[in-house]
Amino acid sequence: MLLVAACFPGQGSQSVGMLDAFAATYPEVRETFEEASEALGLDLWALVSGGPKETLDQTENTQPAMLVAGISVWRVWQAQGGVAPALMAGHSLGEYAALVAAGSLSLAQGVRLAAERARLMQAAVPVGQGAMAAVLGLTDAQVMTVCAEAAEGAVVEAVNFNAPGQVVIAGDVDAVGRAMIAAKAAGAKRSLLLPVSVPSHCALMRPAATLLARRLEAVDLRLPEVPVLHNVDAAVADSVAALRERLCEQLYRPVRWVETVQAMGAAGVSLVIEFGPGKVLTGLNKRCDKNITTLPVFDPETLKAALEATADAQG
């Protein structure tokens, strides 16, 4: 029997016009954006479809927009009779989309939390003081050693274990710069700064996590109807209290994406559907577990291909 999982991308997969083709065919896209826009008090569809890019790329706009994009695609999948996944996960902000899809949060709750999360993250580290960089071609251990040696009393950490040989680092801008130089010296194929304004998933986000914890206490969370693997430990939370803890820890602890995909494989998953614009996770998943196929869904053509691929799993 084909066992399917769902995954949702995070910040970085956004682009102006990213769901135009989908929205032209499936009304669920615009309906989902309208529902979220009303909850947030911001016309997200106008931003996503018309930009400008600079505004869409601002963290406090990107995070709610990406959550809604993922959920709109997920709702189209449901409306078209797509197979129900046995597991879900999301990369960074995508974890919130997974929780909405799994029934742990309503869309309104999720989009408000995403916007608040983004504001708290940006407030924790002013623009220009933090940075993130992708290091390609080193082992996880090598990257962690490079960060430890480059810190010099500041913060620079391995924060996204995205795929074998692809690790993202984050921290104070000068420390990240030193780590990039050290990574090249250690044999990295490439070391490149990422176009982000917040150093996510590192110790600099602890103040934001403290404030997010207070915000989460006021939210009526439920355990998801479909198990969701969390970024910080690639495991399923067994209580609402643990769920809140995982969401707070996610701000300052690494995204363990390799372990997450491998946990899907260990559970018997052989096919993952990526719901949302782009196919970043599709590329990463292939490298994390060669026995798992990932199919992206972001337009009518990719939807058709994924529906056909999972047709035998229906029922």
Phi, psi values for residue 195, rounded to 5°: -80, 70
Element (H, E) at 27: helix 27-40
CA–CA dist 228, 55 (Å, integer): 31
Answer whether residue 108 shows pLDDT above 60. yes
Catalytic residues, which ones? 92, 201
% of the chain exceeding 90 in pLDDT:
91
pTM of the predicted model over 0.85:
yes
Answer whether residue 312 shows pLDDT above 70. no
Answer whether residue 110 shows pLDDT above 70. yes
Distance of CA 250 to the CA centre of its chain: 11
Tens of pLDDT, residue by residue over 187-223, are: 999 999 998 889 999 999 999 999 999 999 999 999 9
Per the listing, tokens 């078209």 go with 80
Three-state secondary structure readout of the chain: CCCEEEEECCCCCCCCCCCHHHHHHCHHHHHHHHHHHHHHCCCHHHHHHHCCHHHHCCHHHHHHHHHHHHHHHHHHHHHCCCCCCCEEEECCCHHHHHHHHCCCCCHHHHHHHHHHHHHHHHHHCCCCCEEEEEEECCCHHHHHHHHHHHHCCCCEEEEEEEECCEEEEEEEHHHHHHHHHHHHHCCCCEEEECCCCCCCCCHHHHHHHHHHHHHHHCCCCCCCCCCEECCCCCCECCCHHHHHHHHHHHHHCCECHHHHHHHHHHCCCCEEEEECCCCHHHHHHHHHCCCCEEEEECCHHHHHHHHHHCHHHCC
Evaluate whether 91 touches 231 at the Cβ level (below 8 Å).
yes
CA–CA dist 48, 65 (Å, integer): 7
Q: What is the mean pLDDT of residues 2-12?
A: 93
Tens of pLDDT, residue by residue over 17-69, are: 999 999 999 999 999 999 999 999 999 999 999 989 999 988 889 999 999 99
Contacts of residue 71, Cβ cutoff 8 Å, sequence gap at least 6 = 32, 36, 97, 100, 101, 107, 110
Residue whose C-alpha is closest to residue 163's, from 289, 270, 269:
289
Neighbours of 206 (CB within 10 A): 14
Instruction: Specify the length of the chain in residues.
Output: 315
Evaluate whether 228 touches 5 at the Cβ level (below 8 Å).
no
Evaluate whether 110 touches 118 at the Cβ level (below 8 Å).
no
CA–CA dist 282, 280 (Å, integer): 5
The confidence score (pLDDT) of residue 127 equals 87
Q: Flag the least confident range among 191-195, 233-237, 263-267.
A: 191-195
Contacts of residue 238, Cβ cutoff 8 Å, sequence gap at least 6 = none
Q: Flag the least confident range among 5-19, 32-46, 84-98, 291-305.
A: 5-19
Per the listing, tokens 């996503």 go with 48
Confidence of residue 74 (pLDDT cuts 50, 70, 90): very high
The confidence score (pLDDT) of residue 314 equals 54
CA–CA dist 236, 227 (Å, integer): 6
